[in-house]
Structure 1
Amino acid sequence: MADISQIRYDAAAKAKLQESFVGQEKRGVIVLADISGYTELLTTTQAEKSARIVAHITERVFGATTEPFIVNEIEGDALFTYTVEPPTGEALVRLTFEQLETYADAFYHAMEELTYSTLKDDPDLAALIKRVSMKFVIHYGSFQVNKIGPFVKLVGADIILPHRLLKNSVDSDSYFLFSKAFLDLDEDRDHNKAMALVEEIKHFGSVDVGARTFDYDAEHEARHGREHDHLTRRGVTI
């Protein structure tokens, strides 16, 4: 997994790469990283500070985007990223899981920074921060790359589906939700940790998915140990 302190997302280079896709149909992995608790934060009486909290989290997760993923759009409380083939199959799945772990790490560190930030003395906001989490929806499919004005947009049913899957039956605010189309890319991989579910999605019918809930602190400690804090406890000014 990448060291998030060393990641540098080259937005200009990625924008140029996206431009080269315009007018083509591509296949690849779509990832939506969605902030849970976003609406509650922004509707508090301290909306200005809350907006800065959301911006801080989004910036940290955005900056943790690794090769070969491209940020297509920031959609309010969600980061919309994707990659195109090649690579394919097992290699594509491996890179996707590495990206998901890196995003989760970036979120963890953003929350640590906020915990030790200038907000720590505000009991109302501190309590709200503890209820913020992230959920991820991952899908594989095809899409058309179009340009509308200055914007490069991905279009197709396989772009709509992961957005619809953000509304689902998973009883948690912290989870990975994988479409069967993604999981089938590497049938040899152990997907036993993903609980099989069927989501009823308008216009799509019954959609097979796999869900895995997680605890950020436990996951982070399992990968890095208790002393891994190269970005923690520095705090930020909000």
Structure 2
Amino acid sequence: MKKNYWATKKDKAFYFIPDISGFSQFVENTAIEHSIHIISELLDILLDNNVLNMELAEIEGDALFMYIDKDISFVQIENQVSSMLNAFQEHLKKYEHQRICNCGACATAINLKIKFLVHKGRLDFIRVKNIKKPYGQDVNRIHRLLKNDVPLDEYLLLSNPTLEYLEIDAEGAEFIKIESKYDIHILPYYYKALTTYKTTTERAESKDIIQIKEKADFTIEQDIKLPVERVFELISNFKYRKLWDTSLTEIEYDEGRVNRPGANHTCIIGSRKMQFKTI
């Protein structure tokens, strides 16, 4: 059996964690399924706004663990935080104005929050077979800082080594210092609210919300003897379509996304394919 071995670099890296929070524990099946889809979409959006091209070390539940071994400035870190934050919030607006599902996850998605943590430390790796991951004291340190005493839901947190390395004037940059006890160690860190990184945009009406004023080309009618909430789920959730539409041979759609206005799907009836958009 091959033993684990270390590939150690003396250089230091910036460790970066965007962490999403705010989902309650759901017991209803649709809410659990949709909460997974929503978090998946949001993590995709965060990665799409990784303007510093940081390496993704791991997806950790509702968080991304990332790092970069290049020297970067505080302004660059702020740009990344701003880009991710505003894309994150813009996407959440869709669950406020464009959702068609009323499950617990979709109904409360707008309440999701995000925080960002940055730590400057030594970059060591552990390698097991073909998997290589950052490892060591500084990796432990940024993960410990996820559990902190910051009295806010959304914030940017810098470890003390990060603040010192970047030579940031904490007071001038509106950071507040906290010292928390971790095991037998006292770790100082600094935080600030994300208010300054939010762009103010007017709420736009969705172009995908369409009022139908003329008769449809064809309609499907079914009698379904179930409570109205269950009927709504059967109609709006594509995976249940074949349970009540007996004419349908197959339906193709993105199983990793929640159906909402603008979502596309393909209905296959025999050899015919029909393209649809949810409105």
Give the TM-score range, shorter chain. 0.7 to 0.9
- Offset of residue 188 of structure 1: 5.1
Hey, what does 1:219 align to over in structure 2? 198
SS of the residue corresponding to residue 24 of structure 1 reads: strand
Residue 93 of structure 1 is matched in structure 2 by: 74
- Aligned-residue Cα RMSD (Å) equals 2.7
C-alpha contact (below 8 Å) 2:55/2:67 kept by paired residues: yes
User: What is residue 186 of structure 2 aligned with on the other side?
Assistant: 206
Deviations 1:1-26 (A, max 9, x none): xxxxxxxxxxxxxxxxxxxx955343
Q: Which amino acid aligns with 2:54?
A: F
Q: Distance in 2 between matches of 1:24 and 1:141?
A: 11
Q: CA deviation at 1:114?
A: 2.9
2:168, 2:65 → 1: CA distance? 27
Residue-pair matches, total: 203
Q: Which residue of 1 aligns with 2:236?
A: none
C-alpha distance in 2 between matches for 1:22 and 1:114: 44
The corresponding residue for 1:16 is none
Q: What SS does the aligned partner of 1:81 have?
A: strand
- More RCO (CA 8 Å, sep 6+): 1
Q: Percent identity?
A: 20
Matched residues in 2 for 1:131 and 1:118: separation? 14
3-state SS of the aligned residue for 1:220?
coil
Larger Rg: 2
Alignment-mate amino acid for residue 87 of structure 2: A
* Contact 1:146–1:152 under 8 Å retained in 2: yes
TM-score, normalised with respect to structure 1: 0.74
After superposition, what is the alpha-carbon deviation per residue over 1:59-109, rounded to whole angstroms, capped at 9, x for unaligned? 111221123411111111110111113x2xxx4322222211111122112
Aligned equivalent of 1:55, options 33, 40, 65: 40
- In the aligned structure 2, how far is the partner of 1:92 from the partner of 1:219? 20
Cα separation, 2, equivalents of 1:44 and 1:150: 38
Partners of 1:26 and 1:145 within 8 A in 2: no
Letter in 2 for 1:118: R
Higher helix share: 1
Task: Select 2:134's aligned residue among 142, 148, 154.
Answer: 154
Q: Is the 8 A contact 1:143 1:157 kept in 2?
A: no
- Once residues 165 and 207 of structure 2 are traced to their aligned partners in structure 1, the CA distance between those partners, rounded to angstroms, is 40
TM-score (norm 2): 0.64
* 1:94–1:192 CA distance, 2 compared to 1 (3 A): closer
Q: How far is 1:234 from its partner?
A: 6.2
Q: CA deviation at 1:145?
A: 2.1
Contact 2:181-2:187 within 8 A present in 1 as well? yes
TM-superposed CA distance for 1:186, in Å, is: 2.5
> Is 2:125–2:132's contact at 8 Å kept on the other side of the alignment?
yes
**1:57 Cα shift?**
1.0
How far residue 201 of structure 1 moved from its aligned partner, in angstroms, is 1.5
Superposed CA deviations along residues 156-179 of structure 1, whole A, max 9, x for unmatched, are 111111101111111121111111
Equivalent positions of 1:117-128 (< 5 A) are: 117-119=98-100, 121-122=101-102, 124-128=104-108
Matching residue's letter, 2:198: E
- Please tell me whether the aligned partners of residues 19 and 114 of structure 2 are also in contact (alpha carbons under 8 angstroms): yes
Query: Gaps spanning 5+ residues in structure 2: where?
Result: 1-5, 209-256, 260-279
Aligned residue identity for 2:202:
R
Aligned equivalent of 1:36:
21
